[in-house]
Chain A
Amino acid sequence: QVQLQESGPGLVKPSQTLSLTCTVSSGSISSSIYYWSWIRQPAGKGLEWIGRIYTSGSTNYNPSLKSRLTMSVDTSKSQFSLKLSSVTAADTAMYYCARGLNYGSGTYIDYWGQGTLVTVSS
């Protein structure tokens, strides 16, 4: 049973960079059939996909966030990370890390972390 755990500051000041790390346990982060993703959800609202990274380093980002977004992976630590720069109050949300896999032309998330709440406020 794969487990994912988000970690990082729960409070970030406006204009600063939001940094989160996800630690993967009970499963190999290095398997090439999976990718590692970030998804966020403002309180009371729907899910927004942030982006994904493969252990090869290949990434896909949400176009609306791409200019502010950097994802990275450290297989030696079984971790992957998110950096979102120039944050505003609109970036306040529950942030989930997750594992995904592809099938043909489709994809889905099979494991999710429990989520970490990040608030952007001065």
Chain B
Amino acid sequence: SYELTQPPSVSVSPGQTASITCSGDKLGDKYACWYQQKPGQSPMVVIYQDTKRPSGIPERFSGSNSGNTATLTISGTQAMDEADYYCQAWDSSTVVFGGGTKLTVL
């Protein structure tokens, strides 16, 4: 079965750029999306189709996907961005989630 691998944790200082990676075999040949989940809340999509932001998502969120790695980048990270982030792709008629990355802003 297809697997997506994320680092368990990433730390960033306020105002700096955070990058969260998601690795999978030939992931660049698929579309990736990213969800943000804050404690006690349901996940929310922040990037879909590799690079697109849904309405209401701040411009500081961006995405890329090439080769075996998709990346979520948060520029000018704010305290409110502290959350768990999950990548997701579609493979062999199934939705696949990455294991999640806890982003700490400190």
Which residues on A are within 8 Å of B, measured CB to CB? Answer: 37, 46-49, 52, 60, 62-64, 96, 100, 103-110, 112-115
Contact B48 A108 (CB under 8 A): yes
Q: Give me the interface of B with A, judged by CB distance under 8 Å.
A: 1, 30-33, 35, 37, 42-45, 48-49, 54, 86, 88-90, 93-100
Question: B30: which A residues are within 8 A, CB to CB?
Answer: 105-106
Cross-chain contact of A114 among B42, B54, B96 (Cβ < 8 A): B42
Counting residue pairs across A and B whose Cβ atoms lie within 8 Å, the total is 63
Residue contact A103 to B49, C-beta cutoff 8 Å: yes
- Is B86's CB under 8 angstroms from A46's CB? yes
User: Taking CB as reference atom, which chain A residue is nearest B84?
Assistant: A46
**Given A103-B49, A105-B31, A106-B31, does the pair A112, B44 have CB atoms closer than 8 Å?**
yes
Please report the C-alpha to C-alpha distance between residue A96 and residue B86 in the assembled complex, in whole angstroms: 15
| In the bound complex, CA of A112 to CA of B37 (Å) | 11
Q: Which residue of B lies closest to A66 (CB)?
A: B94
| Complex: chain A residue closest to B97, CB-CB | A47
A63:B45 contact, CB within 8 angstroms: no
Q: How far is the CA of A62 from the CA of B2 in the complex (A)?
A: 12
Q: How far is the CB of A64 from chain B (nearest CB, A)?
A: 8
Distance to closest chain A CB from B86 (angstroms): 6
Chain B CB within 10 A, most for which of A64, A107, A108: A108
> Do the beta carbons of A37 and B99 come within 8 Å of each other?
no
Contact A46 B97, beta carbon cutoff 8 Å: yes
- Contact partner of B96 (CB less than 8 A), chosen from A37, A49, A103, A108, is A49
Smallest CB-CB separation from B48: which chain A residue? A108
B37 contact set on A, CB distance < 8 A: 47
Q: How far is the CA of A109 from the CA of B100 in the complex (A)?
A: 16
Most buried by A among B45, B88, B95, B99: B95
- A46–B96 alpha-carbon span in the complex (Å): 11
Q: List 29 A-B contacts (CB under 8 A).
A: A46-B86, A46-B97, A46-B99, A46-B100, A47-B43, A47-B86, A47-B100, A48-B97, A49-B94, A49-B95, A49-B97, A62-B94, A63-B1, A63-B94, A64-B1, A96-B42, A105-B90, A106-B31, A106-B49, A106-B89, A108-B45, A108-B88, A109-B35, A110-B45, A110-B54, A112-B43, A113-B42, A114-B42, A115-B42
